[in-house]
């Protein structure tokens, strides 16, 4: 085990990084450890843990804003929000079950560092769309801030966007300020039975581009959804509105030819929690799980190519924007093959897999040379000696 | 306005520059004639004027790349320009640089209704995108009031907002990708129609970067289905605090209106005198609350909003029952800027954001400054998201009033920062607020931003003198002034 320093203040975090910087020692940045197996495996000289930077320091429901230490448990944040009928609209995924760590052990800093939004991503935006301000320590050990606590803010570069999803390779977050939103009053899910991927993506696309105003759109093949291919369309909001939109969805978008049923309340809620957490792939030991992002209408053809050239199983989220793919045997379908099947503009991330696999493959989509060079310069502008999570995003 | 001292080396290369540009952009795309250059000497912040060395109007990304390589080699500065409506001097030329005008990039390249995206060139106007997709029932959500004139490239650079960004977000939440040309002439594709692009979120960084990182030559935006219905509620309040309280109560009750605008008494009166929108003259504050979406939802929420405001000392409540009436409610708000322009020879528009709960105290503070500087002020406010637009009334012909207005404005922005807000909510820092940056950020914060700038543009050729404080402490602060009603864009409603 490498030396772990559990920092209990921002100043301590800064001192720790400053001395690592002076000595050229590399540092693994950890929150509560729920997503440590996500990304390229790294070996560092020491480990900094942010769990001591915990606690909600500001919550003003009427201003839709919350601020918390980076190590604050997500459960604590979600409980405080729920008590006021609010939520994190980006619907943070809990990948504990998929990654083989522990569910329900995320920190808000880790959520921001990985930019992992759930099924509502396609309409509500990603984590990056909800981060208003950050305090952080860069790779030189300097404390800096960016953004603020107000939604409308164009003062200086929006470094919040850049830092969100940077997997701890640019800075150690110490405090996060984020936008929160009212939780929907009710929800329900329209389930379409026996629709193939192509029909599903077409219907989901039409629903997303219509007054149906759906907030989740997923498709599962028969093998993953007991009882046949199924599409799931989620309606959320105020009671009368959900009812009216259900009617519109059924009558105008779906039409009479497709068999549709409705799942309400708690059942709908847990259905989407399962999709959010990629539950159908839990417990498949040794598997490699990829998240593929494409233009939604390209999803069905990609699915077909994957079916022909791999023995993986996949389902669709975000109306086609994302495919989650599980491959049973590592090594069978290397990154090059998977990425070779992608349509133009698509990209693939290896989200879960055995350590050897993650070490051998490019976990994140490789970037074209000029862009990679630009990113390297951006990285150096925060972390000139490359001591923060070095190699994690490769 | 103090700008960085012109570089004699760059100026000395005028002939090579012109020849080089002509080789890249044939025909009339290279403008050197001083009378023609004058059209580019300022943007919406008309108090500042500067002729550039030359204006070049490329048509292709390859031309932009070649121009940038030429400028890099000659050490000539580059000021990108869209519609020239910036209110912070973002497109103000520099004496030793070129203006790179994007007006010829005016094509909508692709609309993809199934995937709800549009790929457009940066010179397309904001409204132009909506026009291109509205026949299919779609629109582009961010709606700055300059939308007939401002371009999507300018919106990307400024991260522009509009009255509906409370519900639909700013530019940054509606842009999926950009093509950026770097100072080395590299063409990089950032983001795109697939979500959550790999690597760092450079799209998020480029949006709001005020033309300091590169030239955007293509933008992919999200388009949305046009809401089925929109209705508005017009409410008068006896105090600013009561109006602010109502705003908090509406949002606290779980409702996010499409827009929520507030005006104070001077703004109400100016608007009433100007167009007679039927606003309550006896109110200290007025709220316009707009709900949009499916008809059933809008009707349901209107009832709830009315119930909330009724409990909060609302004086008069009107609910729109027709599209004409809804537009009539907005007419006074939309006319607020010209209305103020009518009652004062000059006015100066500010753009700070504050935590909403601090509104009553900030308005009191503004009133105190108003007494201190002996200048009147009218306030319009994107109440839902805390973005305040105080309009300071002054007369530039009265000695000292201009300086007083500037000092007044700076005091307001400092107060915004002090109560937990920021210097600018949507207009950008530009030259205008550059020297106030130290009030919001410390040197470490700013140095981190400067290093990010260096990662893109190490020799500082893109849009110099903007966003970052000049090193010299005595630099004057720049301002947006509107003089004698002679605004640059008189026909654009101002929000
Ligand atoms: C009457 C009026 C009302 C307004 N109302 C609003 C409002 O409601 N909300 C709001 O947010 N703003 C408003 N504005 C401000 C202004 O319209 C916006 O900032 C707008 O986005 C500027 O767009 P533009 O095309 O005119 O850009 P310009 O003014 O030409 O340029 C603005 C900045 O963008 C850069 N730039 C332009 N194009 C590119 C490109 N292709 N690549 C890189 N950089 C580029 C320039 O260098 C400059 O820094 C208003 C302005 C006026 C005059």
Average pLDDT over every residue of B294-311:
96
Task: Report the separation in Å between the CA atom of B152 and the middle of ligand 1, taken as the mean of its atom positions.
Answer: 8
Q: Does A358 touch chain B (CB under 8 A)?
A: no
Contacts of B262 (CB under 8 A, 6+ apart): B243, B244, B247, B285, B286, B287, B288, B379, B380, B381, B383
| Domain boundaries along the sequence of chain A | 49-182, 186-276, 279-360
For A132-185, write each residue's pLDDT tens digit: 999 999 999 999 999 999 999 999 999 999 999 999 999 999 999 999 999 999
User: Is residue A59's pLDDT more than 80?
Assistant: yes
Give the gap in angstroms from C-alpha B397 to the nearest C-alpha of chain A: 32
Give the position, in ligand 1's atom list, of the atom nearest the Cα of B149: 26
Burial (CB count <10 Å: 0-12, 13-18, 19+), residue A139: buried
- Tokens 């990662």 correspond to B455
Give the gap in angstroms from C-alpha B109 to the nearest C-alpha of chain A: 16
User: Is residue B489's pLDDT more than 60?
Assistant: no
* B209/A150 CB distance under 8 A: no
- Report the greatest alpha carbon distance in chain A: 69
Contact A393, A167 (CB under 8 A): yes
Q: Does A183 touch chain B (CB under 8 A)?
A: yes
For A183-224, write each residue's pLDDT tens digit: 999 999 999 999 999 999 999 999 999 999 999 999 999 999
The DSSP string of A287-313 is: -EEEEEE--GGGHHHHHHHHHHH---E
Give the gap in angstroms from C-alpha B475 to the nearest C-alpha of chain A: 19
Cα B293 to chain centroid distance, Å, stands at 26
* Interface residue of B164, B200, B425 to substitute, partner A, most A CBs within 10 Å: B200
Q: Which pLDDT value is given to residue A354?
A: 94
| Residue B426 near ligand 1, beta carbon < 6 Å | yes
User: Is residue B491's pLDDT more than 60?
Assistant: no
Q: Does A335 touch chain B (CB under 8 A)?
A: no
Which of these, B182, B193, B199, lies nearest to A293 by C-alpha position?
Answer: B193
Between the alpha carbon of residue B85 and those of residues A155, B91, B92, B494, the distances in Å are 18, 8, 10, 12
Beta bridge mates, B243:
none
Task: Report the separation in Å between the CA atom of B36 and the middle of ligand 1, taken as the mean of its atom positions.
Answer: 21
Question: Rg of chain A's alpha carbons, rounded to an integer?
Answer: 21
Q: Which pLDDT value is given to residue B480?
A: 46
Give the position, in ligand 1's atom list, of the atom nearest the Cα of B493: 1
Contact B386, A151 (CB under 8 A): yes
Please identify among residues 8-67 of chain B the ones whose CB lies closer than 8 Å to any CB of chain A. Answer: none
Facing A150 at nearest CB: one of B252, B295, B353: B353
Which of these, B462, B481, B480, lies nearest to B4 by C-alpha position?
Answer: B462
The DSSP string of A166-233 is: -TTSSEEEEEEEEE-EEPPSEEEEEEEES--HHHHHHHHHHHHTSTT--SEEEEE-TTTSTTS-EEEE
| Residue B157 near ligand 1, beta carbon < 6 Å | yes
For A181-193, write each residue's pLDDT tens digit: 999 999 999 999 9
CB neighbours of residue B38 within 10 Å: 11
Q: Which pLDDT value is given to residue B482?
A: 53
DSSP state of A390: T
First-residue to last-residue Cα distance in chain A: 23
Residue nearest to atom 6 of ligand 1 (CA): B144
Q: Which pLDDT value is given to residue A331?
A: 73
| Residue B84 near ligand 1, beta carbon < 6 Å | yes
Q: Do domains A186-276 and A279-360 have the same CATH topology?
A: yes
CB neighbours of residue A272 within 10 Å: 22
Exposed e or buried b per residue across A96-105, where buried means at least 16 C-beta atoms within 10 angstroms of its C-beta? bbbbebeeeb
Residue nearest to atom 21 of ligand 1 (CA): B155
Rounded CA gap, A316 and A249, in Å? 20
* Interface residue of B88, B139, B201 to substitute, partner A, most A CBs within 10 Å: B201
Q: Which pLDDT value is given to residue A261?
A: 96
Mean pLDDT of chain B: 93
- Tokens 């403008």 correspond to B31
Rounded CA gap, B112 and B418, in Å? 45
Q: Does A178 touch chain B (CB under 8 A)?
A: no
Element (H, E) at A147: strand A143-147
Within 13 Å, how many C-alpha atoms sit on residue A86's CB side?
23
Strand locations in B141-194 (E): 175-181, 187-191
Q: Which pLDDT value is given to residue B476?
A: 37
Q: Which pLDDT value is given to residue B479?
A: 43
Give the gap in angstroms from C-alpha A205 to the nearest C-alpha of chain B: 5
Contact B194, A349 (CB under 8 A): no
Please identify among residues 108-127 of chain B the ones whose CB lies closer than 8 Å to any CB of chain A. Answer: 112-117
For A3-39, write each residue's pLDDT tens digit: 999 999 999 999 999 999 999 999 999 999 999 999 9
Contact B305, B257 (CB under 8 A): yes
For A278-330, write each residue's pLDDT tens digit: 999 999 989 999 999 999 999 999 999 999 999 999 999 999 999 999 999 77
Q: Which pLDDT value is given to residue A285?
A: 87
DSSP state of B39: G
Contact A236, B282 (CB under 8 A): no
Which of these, A374, A370, A352, lies nearest to A361 by C-alpha position?
Answer: A352
**pTM attached to this predicted model:** 0.96
Angle at B430 between CA B428 and CA B436, to 5 degrees: 90
Q: Does B135 touch chain A (CB under 8 A)?
A: no
Residue nearest to atom 35 of ligand 1 (CA): B211
For B338-361, write each residue's pLDDT tens digit: 899 899 999 999 999 999 999 999
- Tokens 């085990």 correspond to A1
Exposed e or buried b per residue across A171-208, where buried means at least 16 C-beta atoms within 10 angstroms of its C-beta? bbbbbbbbbbbbbbebbbbbbbeebebbbbbbbbbbbb
Q: At what angle do helices B240-252 and B295-310 cross, to 10 degrees?
A: 140
Q: Which pLDDT value is given to residue B334?
A: 87
Dihedral, B192, B193, B197, B203 alpha carbons, nearest 10: 40
Residue B257 with chain A: CB contacts under 8 Å:
none
DSSP state of A32: S
User: Is residue B488's pLDDT more than 80?
Assistant: no
Average pLDDT over every residue of B128-139:
98
CATH 1.10.3470 fits A279-360, yes or no: no
Facing A213 at nearest CB: one of B197, B293, B423: B293
| Residue B424 near ligand 1, beta carbon < 6 Å | no
Mean pLDDT of chain A: 96
| Residue B146 near ligand 1, beta carbon < 6 Å | yes
- Asked if the interface predicted TM-score (ipTM) of this complex is over 0.85, the answer is yes
Among the residue ranges B344-348, B412-416, B417-421, the one predicted with the least confidence is B344-348
Contact A208, A214 (CB under 8 A): yes
Between the alpha carbon of residue A107 and those of residues A89, A146, A226, the distances in Å are 17, 20, 34
Q: Which pLDDT value is given to residue B47?
A: 80
Average pLDDT over every residue of A267-281:
98
Q: Does A264 touch chain B (CB under 8 A)?
A: no
User: Is residue B465's pLDDT more than 90?
Assistant: yes
Facing A209 at nearest CB: one of B116, B186, B189: B116
Contact B478, B48 (CB under 8 A): yes
Let me know how many helices (H) and strands (E) chain A has, helices first. Answer: 13, 18
Contacts of A196 (CB under 8 A, 6+ apart): A229, A300
* B428/A374 CB distance under 8 A: no
Contact A69, A175 (CB under 8 A): yes
User: Is residue B474's pLDDT more than 50?
Assistant: no
Residue nearest to atom 9 of ligand 1 (CA): B144
Q: Does A337 touch chain B (CB under 8 A)?
A: no
Element (H, E) at A48: strand A46-49
- Probe target for ligand 1 pocket from B68, B106, B150, B428, with the most ligand atoms within 8 Å of CB: B150
| Residue B123 near ligand 1, beta carbon < 6 Å | no
* A368/B385 CB distance under 8 A: no
Domain A49-182, what architecture?
Answer: 2-Layer Sandwich (3.30)
What tokens appear for A318 in the block? 């975000």
Question: Rg of chain B's alpha carbons, rounded to an integer?
Answer: 23
Give the position, in ligand 1's atom list, of the atom nearest the Cα of B426: 11
Contacts of B430 (CB under 8 A, 6+ apart): B45, B86, B87, B88, B89, B90, B92, B210, B466, B467, B478
Contact B124, B108 (CB under 8 A): yes
Contact A36, B221 (CB under 8 A): no
What tokens appear for B432 in the block? 């205008």
Using DSSP bridges, classify how beta strands A347-352 and A288-293 pair: parallel, antiparallel or unpaired: antiparallel
Q: Which pLDDT value is given to residue B485?
A: 42
Contact A263, A299 (CB under 8 A): no
Rounded CA gap, B21 and B16, in Å? 8
Please identify among residues 282-311 of chain A the ones whose CB lies closer than 8 Å to any CB of chain B. Answer: 293-297
* Interface residue of A14, A17, A154 to substitute, partner B, most B CBs within 10 Å: A154
One CATH from 3.10.20.30, 3.30.70.2190, 3.40.50.300, 3.80.10.10 for A186-276: 3.30.70.2190
Q: Which pLDDT value is given to residue B314?
A: 84
| Residue B121 near ligand 1, beta carbon < 6 Å | no
Average pLDDT over every residue of A240-247:
97
Q: Which pLDDT value is given to residue A343?
A: 97
Average pLDDT over every residue of A42-64:
97
* B173/A85 CB distance under 8 A: no
Facing A237 at nearest CB: one of B115, B297, B449: B297
Q: Reduced to 3 states, what is the DSSP secondary structure of residue B267?
A: helix
* B201/A164 CB distance under 8 A: yes
Contact A298, A346 (CB under 8 A): yes
Burial (CB count <10 Å: 0-12, 13-18, 19+), residue B225: buried
Q: Which pLDDT value is given to residue B219?
A: 98
Q: Does A186 touch chain B (CB under 8 A)?
A: no
Give the position, in ligand 1's atom list, of the atom nearest the Cα of B210: 49
Give the gap in angstroms from C-alpha B258 to the nearest C-alpha of chain A: 14
Rounded CA gap, A211 and A234, in Å? 13
Q: Which ranges of B169-264 would DSSP assign to H, the alpha helix?
A: 202-206, 240-252
């Amino acid at each position: 085990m490498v030396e772990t320093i559990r920092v209990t203040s921002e100043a301590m975090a800064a001192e720790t990084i400053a001395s690592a910087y002076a000595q050229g020692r590399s540092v693994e940045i950890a929150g509560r450890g729920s997503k440590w197996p996500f990304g390229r495996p790294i070996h560092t000289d020491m480990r900094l843990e942010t769990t001591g930077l915990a606690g909600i320091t500001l919550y003003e429901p009427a201003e839709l804003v919350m601020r918390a230490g980076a190590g604050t448990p997500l459960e604590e944040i979600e409980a405080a929000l729920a008590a006021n009928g609010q939520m994190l609209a980006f619907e943070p995924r809990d990948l504990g079950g998929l990654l083989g760590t522990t569910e329900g052990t995320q920190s808000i800093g880790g959520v921001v560092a990985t930019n992992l939004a759930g099924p509502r991503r396609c309409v509500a935006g990603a984590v990056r769309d909800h981060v208003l301000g950050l305090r952080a320590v860069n790779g030189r050990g300097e404390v800096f801030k960016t953004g603020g606590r107000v939604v409308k803010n164009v003062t200086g570069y929006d470094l919040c966007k850049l830092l969100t999803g940077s997997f701890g390779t640019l800075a150690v977050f110490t405090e996060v300020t984020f936008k929160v939103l009212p939780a929907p009053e009710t929800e329900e899910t329209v389930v379409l039975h026996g629709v193939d991927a192509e029909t599903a993506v077409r219907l989901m696309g039409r629903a997303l581009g219509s007054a149906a105003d759906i907030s989740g759109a997923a498709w599962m093949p028969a093998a993953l959804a007991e009882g046949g291919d199924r599409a799931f369309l989620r309606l959320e909001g105020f009671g009368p509105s959900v009812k009216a939109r259900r009617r519109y969805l059924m009558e105008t978008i779906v039409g009479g030819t497709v068999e549709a049923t409705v799942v309400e309340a708690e059942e709908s809620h847990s259905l989407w929690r399962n999709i959010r957490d990629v539950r159908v792939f839990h417990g498949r030991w040794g598997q490699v799980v990829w998240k593929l992002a494409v233009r939604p209408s390209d999803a069905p053809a990609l699915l077909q190519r994957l079916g022909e050239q791999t023995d993986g199983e996949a389902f669709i989220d975000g109306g086609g924007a994302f495919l989650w793919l599980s491959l049973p045997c590592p090594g069978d379908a290397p990154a090059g093959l998977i990425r070779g099947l992608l349509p133009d503009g698509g990209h693939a991330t290896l989200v879960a897999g055995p350590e050897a696999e993650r070490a051998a493959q490019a976990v994140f989509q490789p970037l074209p040379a000029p862009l990679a060079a630009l990113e390297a310069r951006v990285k150096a502008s925060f972390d000139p000696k490359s001591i923060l999570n070095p190699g994690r995003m490769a | 306005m103090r700008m960085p001292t012109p570089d004699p080396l760059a100026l000395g290369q005028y002939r090579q520059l012109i020849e080089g540009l002509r080789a890249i952009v044939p025909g009339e795309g290279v403008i050197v004639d001083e009378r023609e250059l004058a059209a580019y000497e300022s943007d919406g912040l008309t108090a500042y004027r500067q002729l550039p060395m030359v204006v070049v109007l490329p048509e292709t990304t390859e031309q932009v790349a070649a121009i940038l390589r030429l400028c890099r080699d000659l050490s000539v500065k580059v000021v990108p320009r869209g519609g020239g409506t910036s209110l912070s001097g973002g497109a103000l030329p520099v004496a030793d640089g070129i203006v790179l005008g994007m007006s010829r990039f005016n094509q909508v390249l692709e609309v993809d209704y199934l995937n709800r995206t549009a790929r457009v060139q940066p010179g397309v106007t904001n409204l132009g995108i909506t026009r291109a997709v509205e026949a299919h029932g779609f629109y582009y959500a961010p709606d700055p009031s300059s939308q007939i004139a401002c371009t999507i490239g300018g919106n990307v650079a400024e991260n522009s907002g509009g009255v509906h960004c409370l519900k639909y977000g700013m530019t940054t939440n509606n842009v999926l990708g950009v093509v950026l040309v770097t100072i080395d002439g590299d063409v990089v594709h950032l983001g795109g129609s697939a979500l959550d692009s790999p690597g760092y979120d450079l799209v998020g960084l480029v949006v709001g970067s005020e033309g300091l990182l590169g030239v955007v030559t293509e933008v992919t935006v999200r388009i949305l289905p046009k809401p089925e219905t929109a209705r508005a509620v017009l409410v008068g309040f006896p105090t600013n605090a009561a109006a602010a309280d109502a705003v908090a109560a509406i949002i606290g009750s779980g409702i996010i209106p499409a827009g929520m605008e507030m005006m104070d008494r001077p703004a109400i009166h100016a608007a009433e005198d100007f167009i007679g929108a039927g606003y309550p003259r006896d109110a200290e504050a007025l709220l316009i609350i707009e709900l949009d979406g499916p008809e059933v939802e809008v009707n349901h929420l209107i009832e709830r909003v009315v119930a909330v405001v009724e409990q909060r000392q609302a004086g008069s409540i009107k609910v729109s029952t027709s599209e004409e009436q809804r537009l009539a409610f907005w007419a006074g708000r939309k006319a607020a800027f010209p209305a103020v322009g009518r009652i004062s020879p000059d006015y100066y528009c500010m753009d700070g954001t504050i935590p909403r709960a601090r509104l009553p105290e900030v308005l009191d503070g503004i009133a105190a400054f108003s007494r201190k500087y002996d200048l009147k002020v009218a306030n319009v406010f994107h109440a839902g998201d805390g973005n305040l637009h105080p309009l300071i009334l002054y007369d530039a012909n009265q000695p000292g009033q201009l300086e007083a207005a500037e000092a007044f404005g700076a005091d307001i922005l400092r107060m915004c920062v002090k109560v937990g807000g920021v210097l600018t909510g949507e207009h950008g820092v530009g030259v205008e607020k550059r020297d106030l940056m130290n009030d919001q950020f410390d040197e470490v914060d700013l140095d981190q931003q400067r290093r990010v700038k260096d990662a893109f543009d190490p020799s500082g050729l893109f849009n110099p003198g903007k966003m970052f404080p000049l090193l010299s402490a005595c630099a004057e602060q720049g301002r947006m002034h509107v003089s004698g009603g002679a605004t640059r864009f008189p026909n654009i409603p101002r929000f």
